[in-house]
Amino acid sequence: MIAPPCESPFAGRVVFVLGSRRCGTTWLAEMLLAHPEIGGMDATVVLPDNRVPNESVIFGAVVDLWRNACRSDAEGLCDSLGFEGAVAAIRRFCDRMFVSARDRYSPGSTWFLEKTPDNAKRLPIVAAVYPDAWYVEIVRDGRDMARSLTSVHFGPDDVGEAAAEWTRDVIQVERHRWRVPRFRQVRYEDLLISAADTVADLYQWMGLNVDADVRKELDERAGRRVATYGSTDPVGSGKWREMSAEDITAVLTVAGDRLASLGYLDGEDVV
């Protein structure tokens, strides 16, 4: 059994969803929350015409504490607590926030799900604070991600910049996945084919029972549109083909190597 850095109400019962923006993290979180044992903040906020992501961004709040704990001169938190004590203090803070969120959004659940895309670039911090957690990374074709991210109001205008963000996040998780023993990677494209089966497999990996009621809830959520931001296009993959040749080249220049290593490129895909 993997031990947390301190006594915890969620020992071995936290799930982190990792992945870049516009790669399906919200959809995957919405699916995982179908299980009655998994609680946390609602994955989406329901608006009249959409469901938009709802995120804690909690590890953005503890970055300064982490930097203070990792000072090369050993001053700061480590001077009083030591490094292990500082990590335990951060864990207690996060657990307290998670308990409050659990009790507000899903009282009665025993697990907690945390999904914030920025966690991908903070994986060393997250892994140190939650070594006992379960980590699920969702990966999407970076060309589709770049097209999607540049189409929403909070994304960059340049597809190359969007592709660079995707590449950074994928590399960051690859580089630090050794820190998290409980790790699985799923593809956005697999969710499109069979979201309910994919998530049911994740439940079983985590030791959670999948009964008829859970399957029914998974099936209902699988077709739920989330984070569309006004788009009426059908959900799907391969929409990058609608981009101009210039934009596709810009994406490949930045992300081509990583797309190839993940199996997203073949000879016909290169412009």
Which domains are delineated in the chain?
14-206+215-269 (3.40.50.300)
Whole-number percent of the chain with pLDDT over 70: 89
Contact between 151 and 37 under an 8 Å Cβ cutoff? The reply is no
**C-alpha span between 176 and 180 (Å, rounded):** 8
Beta bridge partners of 47: 50
Reported as a single tens digit per residue, the pLDDT across 154-195 is 899 999 999 999 999 999 999 999 999 999 999 999 999 999
Distance CA(221)–CA(31), nearest Å, equals 6
What average pLDDT is seen over the chain?
90
Instruction: Give the mean model confidence (pLDDT) for residues 105-133.
Output: 95
- What are 139's strand-pairing partners? 187
pLDDT reported for residue 49: 58
Question: Each residue of 193-244: pLDDT tens digit?
Answer: 999 999 999 999 999 999 999 999 999 999 877 655 555 566 778 999 999 9
Residue 270: the pLDDT is: 54
The residue assigned the tokens 């189409």 is 151
Q: Within its chain, how far is the Cα of 112 from the centroid?
A: 13
